[in-house]
Amino acid sequence: MALRTLDTLGSLAGKRVIVRADLNVPLKDAVITDDGRVRATLPTLNALIDQGARVVVCSHLGRPDGAPDDRYSLAPVAERLSELLGSPVAFARDTVGESARETVDGLADGDVAVLENLRFNAGETSKDDAERRAFAQQLAALGDVLVSDGFGVVHRKQASVYELAELLPSAAGLLIATELDVLDRLTENPERPYTVVLGGSKVSDKLGVIEHLLPRVDRLLIGGGMMFTFLKAQGHAVGKSLLEEDQLERVRGYIATAQERGVELVLPVDAEVAASFSADAAHVTADVDGLEDTPAGADGLGLDIGPRTAEQFADVIRSSSTVFWNGPMGVFEFADFAHGTRSVAQALTEVDGLSVVGGGDSAAAVRQLGFTDDQFGHISTGGGASLEFLEGKKLPGLEVLGWSQ
């Protein structure tokens, strides 16, 4: 079966359309620090507004543990959405209660409302199928149709993602359709050379991706905290850098598989080694065969790829026709250890082909470092969902919309 899209729903004029978005944005003192996910919903919302639908937006934010918590209110998101749409957006102070019902009943054609955080209700993420379905039924009472557009949650079997899509006529929004088109291009006949850049803290977070992509890519670049497990597997001493001892044998297997398949596995040749994990830590650049030969000695921590590695990675990326990047190269939140991530991001903007930033920390990093979304071919809104797709896993939030890999 093919993915059901907006045009399969017929006319939506006057209908109450629930949009399951992913508005899980970072907040600091109730202020949004990165509104990328809010802006990503606009094409779908504007398409529905133009049809004269009565749009009811719902989302989660953070992990409030099934009960109301002001720290995770979607009120700032509703305010930002109103600014971006250029028209008032109503806000319901609960998800399926009296405020939600009154807010939805008050909508006219083309109006938009945002419900309070779905995860203020334990039924949203419950492991119990009946509890999830009961909550989904309460949500379904607020709408006539569901448009699922929260790509960042399609790998979760949650009430608003899965059961609600079974209870109402449902289809994918424009964002999900775009995400799937890009991911399909990364897995089915990508233009070559095809390079995947992986970073972030742990190898264990990327096991499935590495295994699934090794037979498909031409080059695999490894940075971030996970690089130290690869370096240790090659026999390098890594001090107190992040290390997953239990993954060493598996990583040695990846190194051997890459060699057997002719995949160019590019590992760091140098790193920024700090005396402590802090923004102002004393640090030096060290070759990978001398990571413990620094003033910090065996207590040193590798917090970024080094300048020679950054230059090498950038050269490989720029010479590629397809690039997928997931995971920062270092602790980009600290200015002294953001150079590697900035170099990779800059190189992606110079790719003559498809460049994809794989959501999560990578998306946050490029925006924090001053890059704009339109400098890349695509910035995914779903880090975990993107990775699971690339692992070849079944994603329940897509299967319920008719998608099959």
**Closest by Cα among 122, 172, 109, 164 to 142:** 164
The catalytic residue among 36, 208, 353, 384 is: 384
Four-way CATH pick for 6-174: 2.60.120.620, 3.40.1210.10, 3.50.50.60, 3.40.50.1260: 3.40.50.1260
- Mind spelling out the 3-state secondary structure of 201-253? CCHHHCHHHHHHHCCCCCEEEECCCCHHHHHHHCCCCCCCCCCCHHHHHHHHH
CA nearest to 183, candidates 396, 402, 400, 392: 392
> Does residue 207 have a known ligand-binding role?
no
The answer, as to whether pTM is greater than 0.75, is yes
Note down pLDDT in tens along the chain; length 405 residues: 589 999 999 999 999 999 999 999 999 889 999 898 999 999 999 999 999 999 999 999 999 989 999 999 999 999 999 999 999 999 999 999 999 999 999 999 999 999 999 999 999 999 999 999 999 999 999 999 999 999 999 999 999 999 999 999 999 999 999 999 998 899 888 999 999 999 998 888 888 889 989 999 999 999 999 999 999 999 999 999 999 999 999 999 999 999 999 999 999 999 999 999 999 999 999 999 999 999 999 999 999 999 999 999 999 999 999 999 999 999 999 999 999 999 999 999 999 999 999 877 888 899 999 999 999 999 998 878 888 888 888 899 999 999 886
250 appears as a binding residue in the annotation: no
CA distance 182 to 190: 10
The alpha-carbon radius of gyration of the chain (Å, integer) is: 22
> In the prediction, which pLDDT does 91 show?
98
Residue 37 designated active-site: yes
- State yes or no: 164 annotated in a binding site: no
Q: What is the DSSP string of 299-323?
A: G-EEEEE-HHHHHHHHHHHHT-SEE
Q: Please check if 362 is assigned to a binding site.
A: yes
CATH topology of domain 182-391: Rossmann fold (3.40.50)
**Given 4, 15, 37, 132, the catalytic residue:** 37
156 is in an annotated binding site: yes
Angle (deg, nearest 10), helices 339-349 and 360-368: 90
Return residue ranges of the chain for CATH 3.40.50.1260: 6-174, 182-391
3-class SS of residue 291: coil
- Check the annotation: does 7 bind a ligand: no
- In the residue annotation, 393 being an active-site residue is answered as no
What long-range pairs does 210-217 form, CB within 8 A, spacing at least 24?
210/254, 211/254, 211/391, 212/390, 212/391, 212/392, 213/390, 214/254, 214/257, 214/258, 214/261, 214/263, 215/261, 216/187, 216/190, 217/263
Alpha carbon distance 202, 222 (integer Å): 11
| 34 annotated as a binding-site residue | no
State yes or no: 93 annotated in a binding site: no
- Check if 10 is active-site: no
Annotated binding residue at 61?
A: yes
* Residue tagged active-site, from 200, 360, 383, 397: 360
Half-sphere exposure of 128 (CA within 13 A, CB side): 6
Q: Is 20 annotated as a binding residue?
A: no
Q: Is 211 exposed, middle or buried (0-12, 13-18, 19+ CB in 10 A)?
A: middle
Catalytic residue among 101, 185, 202, 393: 202
Q: 18 has which bridge partners?
A: 56, 146
pLDDT of residue 1: 58
Closest to 122 measured CA to CA, from 179, 64, 80, 183: 64
The reply to whether 80 belongs to the active site is no
